[in-house]
Every structure is written in C-alpha cells, then in structure tokens.
Amino acid sequence: MSEDKDATHWDARYRAAQDAGSTVWSREPNRFVVAELSDLPPGTGVDLGAGEGRNALWLASQGWRMTAVDFSAAALAAGSRAAAERGLDLDWVVADATTWEPGEPVDLVLMAYLHLPSAVVADIAAKVSGWLRDGGTLLVVGHDADNLGSGAGGPRDPDHLYHGAMRFPGLTVVRNERVERAGAGGATALDRLIRATLTSR
Ligand SMILES: C[S@@+](CC[C@H](N)C(=O)[O-])C[C@H]1O[C@@H](n2cnc3c(N)ncnc32)[C@H](O)[C@@H]1O
C-alpha cells in the first residue's frame, strides 16, 4: 500500500483549513522540538517539510535564521503570514524535499513528521552529513512504526514510519528512542525521536 501524497493533495488540505479560518496543524511548536533544541545556540537551520511552519517559526523566535522547505505553496504562504504577524524573518522555499539541497552548510536540520517511503528517507539521511557544519544537529521527529498497532493518528503505511534501525551515515546518533505524545482526542501517539550530530569530517 502506498500513501504517497503529492503537493496538490497537501495544497488542497492546507487551503481548506485556511478557508475555514484555521490551520491543519497546531500553531504551537512540537513539544519534542522545543525540548531538544531550546538549549542549542542559535545558528542557521533548515526545516524540511515545514508545513505551516510552527517549528520553524518557534526556532526563528529563538534567534535561529531558518529556511522552511515544503512542496506545498499554500502551507508556506500560511507560515509566511504568521511570520509577518509576529515580526519574524524566515526564508520560505517551495521545493521537493527529496531533491532540494541547502546552498551553504547549516547548523540544524529538522524533519518533523515528514513521512516518505523509507528508501527516500534513507536517501535524505545519507545527504544530511554533507549539509551540516561541524557540531551541527539533525533532529527527526515522526510517527513510530509501533504507532500503527497501538498509537493514535499518523500514516497507515508501515514503510512511511520511523523506527530504531534507521541509519544516518556520517553522523553520531545521540538519541534514538520511542516517545509518547498526547494525540488527537487525548489518545496516545507513539513517536520516534532521533537526534544526531556531525562531530568531525
Ligand atoms: C505532517 S506535515 C508536517 C508539517 C510540519 N513539519 C509540522 O510538524 O507541523 C508533512 C509536511 O510535509 C510536506 N511534504 C511531504 N512530502 C514532501 C516532499 N517530497 N517535499 C516537500 N514537502 C513535503 C507536506 O506538504 C506537509 O506540509
């Protein structure tokens, strides 16, 4: 079963929310993003699959110079409006995360709930060490494979879920664990949190 969804699908979803005066995702940053990244000194960062930018906006409010990448122009337009309201300056890039590359090294790569086929995620993971400055951080948060059987929400295709055996070539993985979060309606969602750093070239 494939759950590949293209930019047209996502654009329609974001536009429907905007027409209803709402957003698809919470306006608040993800709790794991806040917990993991609050103590990092601000630098330059990339949010891949940024959606409406809740995490990139929060990082920008903490002093990060953020580039938010998503293939949904509608999602990024919502993020851009939110940035203007808050007086924040971010770069909003409509691009396919599977082929886009930063123009210069960055201090942070964030992937939050970017669910793609495992081979595609492996391909991105293999590139990230070449994107980071020495000492830079990769943070991945997404629905865990176990969420399928016993957690709330998330993709139903097991090949689109994160798990403990994922590899991040060239990076030192400092955290790779299953974590819990209150999902829709108070049900528990099972997420995977992976944090890795580039320690030397
Ligand atoms: C579940 S949402 C998460 C949004 C955001 N990271 C957050 O946590 O609020 C997944 C996002 O990934 C984007 N996306 C999916 N596949 C993509 C691709 N190949 N290139 C760029 N963006 C993609 C979608 O448009 C969507 O905004």
User: Which residue, 148, 167, 151, 187, is CA-closest to 1?
Assistant: 148
Ligand 1 touching residue 33 (CB < 6 A)? no
**How many Å lie between the centroid of ligand 1 and the Cα of residue 75?**
9
CB 199 within 8 A of CB 159: no
User: What are the distances in angstroms from CA 32 to CA 37, 60, 133, 144?
Assistant: 8, 16, 22, 14
- Tens of pLDDT along the chain (201 residues) come to 345 679 999 999 999 999 999 999 999 999 999 999 999 999 999 999 999 999 999 999 999 999 999 999 999 999 999 999 999 999 999 999 999 999 999 999 999 999 999 999 999 999 999 999 999 999 999 999 999 887 788 888 999 999 999 999 999 999 999 999 987 778 899 999 999 999 875
Ligand 1 touching residue 151 (CB < 6 A)? no
Ligand 1 touching residue 100 (CB < 6 A)? no
Q: What are the structural domain ranges in the chain?
A: 7-197
Q: Is the backbone of residue 51 left (phi > 0), alpha (psi -120 to 50) or beta?
A: left
Ligand 1 touching residue 68 (CB < 6 A)? no
Pocket test residue of 10, 46, 114, 121 for ligand 1, highest count of atoms within 8 A of CB: 114
**How many Å lie between the centroid of ligand 1 and the Cα of residue 30?**
14
Q: Nearest C-alpha to atom 13 of ligand 1 is from which residue?
A: 49
Specify the fold of 7-197: Rossmann fold (3.40.50)
**How many Å lie between the centroid of ligand 1 and the Cα of residue 76?**
10
Cα 75–Cα 79–Cα 80 angle in degrees, nearest 5: 115
How many CA atoms are closer than 13 Å to the CA of 187, on its beta-carbon side? 10
pLDDT at position 2 is 40
pLDDT at position 201 is 54
pLDDT at position 186 is 80
pLDDT at position 4 is 60
